[in-house]
Amino acid sequence: MSLVAGVDSSTQSCKVVVLDAETGALVREGRASHPDGTEVHPDHWWWALSKAFDDSGGLAGVKSLSVGGQQHGMVLLDAAGAVLRPALLWNDTRSAGAAAALTEEVGAEDFAQRTGLVPVASFTVTKVRWVRDHEPEIAGRVAAVALPHDWLTWRLRGYGPAGASPLGPDLGQLTTDRSDASGTGYWNPASGTYDLELFSLAFGRGAVEAGTESHTERSGAVILPRVLAPGESPGQVHPAVAGEALPPGHSVLLGAGAGDNAAAALGLDARPGDVVVSVGTSGTVFAISDEPVGDPSGTVAGFADASGLFLPIAVTLNAARVLTSVAGLLGVDYDELSRLALEAEPGAGGVVLVPYFEGERTPNLPHATASFSGLTIASTTRSNFARAAVEGMLCGLAGGLDALRALGHPAERLLLIGGAVQNPAVQRIAAQVFDLPVLVPSPGEYVARGAAVQAAWALTGERPAWNVALDGHPEPDFRPAIAEQYRAEQRKAEQGAS
């Protein structure tokens, strides 16, 4: 049996799955936690990756692996390969002002045309502007800017800080893939190239792509990772890095890696016509498209996918933690939250939660806060609060589906994934909020599985066709009044936060 491994280095943890390369069947898996926060030193990801490999039984028998990672996180390296500051993650909103400034300087329509997106605080381009403006001493020492999965792949190959890695700080060996590059705000999915002018505008210094002729000619420029094609490999895992996880004489090929949502699409084998709704730390709504997308409103970001197509996506900052927060407020666990939510009638007796606990990205309201409304003596019940939490979270995501449709994307079925969707109330209410057939794939680490698809692709030269099992198909029960009630309160919240 040939084995491949996929890694999901997410905001909260690192997961490793080891699969049969022919069938995609799970053989073993492991995980380790990441620290909380909106800025994290990348060394924590490296330590967690090692622990997750150990927890999965090591790399014995694994012929290829690939890393999927949280998108947008800004990893700044100096000329000696050292990390200059903790990485600013996607959910760090301190760069909201930088996003507004960049949009004003370039224009939303021009930005969308050139990169597929309009700046919001999540994107890397806003974070490099923030560092330029607020940490000039650090900005002056930056030799390379990478993303989380880029940095992990580079380290796995044996590169890293001088004196602490087998091959040292060769920044010209940094690589990424088209899906993760497309989330930076300075890469063009339509042309497949960096927009170096935009990077320079944001950071105040020129940049070059690693491994290109201009890289060797412009030694003072900031290095950006070389963008690999689908199925391309950057090299192999260095034996000294893998240590005891790699048996003597055994080599492991590396895949290109991917941003987390693009990796999930690969893991689900999503195709045009599918809409994926992922309920994790963040909430995402994305589809696979044959054509690049540019939305000047900024509601939909026109990313590239990891297969050679495109991945229009809408993202909310508030997803599973909405349920966690309200469950804590009510003093119940997830099972009891589900029971309470299903005890209430659709519409929660008029109670609405606009769940902007962490600000919001879609719509772009980084400083907004959450609010319950519609409370009367009769409606203020534990069951209505529980149901309003589920409805509010899902209605926020339904807005992303509406935005995709407004851009002309076909929507034939909805794939609902993420740890929170195992909650029976989430599945039942999703069938009432979304006017599409809802399918719930069997629980699994789909980002890590998608990375494993890349690993198999790099190993064999062909994208594998693995079966995706379904765990649920809730009866369609679309209730448009739920969304109408939510939208009315959402508009009030937006007016108050603007």
Helix (H, G, I), strand (E, B) or coil at 389: helix
Residue of 280, 272, 354, 350 whose CA lies nearest to 307:
272
As to burial, measured by CB atoms within 10 angstroms (0-12 exposed, 13-18 middle, 19+ buried), residue 220 is exposed
Does the annotation mark 269 as catalytic? Answer: no
Q: With contact defined as beta carbons under 8 Å apart, do 392 and 373 qualify?
A: no
pLDDT at site 280: 84
The tens-digit pLDDT sequence of the chain (498 residues) is: 799 999 999 999 999 999 999 999 999 999 999 999 999 999 999 999 999 999 999 998 999 999 999 999 999 999 999 999 999 999 898 999 999 999 999 999 999 999 999 999 999 999 999 999 999 999 999 999 999 999 999 999 999 999 999 999 999 999 999 999 999 999 999 999 999 999 999 999 999 999 876 655 556 799 999 999 999 999 999 998 876 667 777 899 999 999 999 999 999 999 999 999 999 888 999 999 999 999 999 899 999 999 999 999 998 889 999 999 999 999 999 999 999 999 999 999 999 999 999 888 788 787 899 999 999 999 999 999 999 999 999 999 999 999 999 998 889 999 999 889 999 999 999 999 999 999 999 999 999 999 999 999 999 999 999 999 998 899 999 999 999 999 999 998 888 776
71 is in an annotated binding site: yes
Q: What angle do CA 386, 388, 389 make, to 5 degrees?
A: 65
φ, ψ dihedrals at 59, nearest 5°:
-105, 15
DSSP code per residue over 322-340:
HHHHHHHHHT--HHHHHHH
Give the pLDDT of residue 366.
79
What's the first-to-final CA gap in the chain, in angstroms?
57
Omega within 30 of 0 (cis) for the link into 363: yes
Output the pLDDT for position 241: 86
The confidence score (pLDDT) of residue 359 equals 87
Q: Are 68 and 258 in contact (CB under 8 A)?
A: yes
Give the type of residue at 146: A
Task: Determine the pLDDT at residue 498.
Answer: 63
In the prediction, which pLDDT does 200 show?
97
Is 113 annotated for ligand binding?
no
How much is the pLDDT for 410?
A: 87
Distance CA 232, CA 179 (A): 13
Of these residues, 177, 180, 260, 269, which one is catalytic? 260
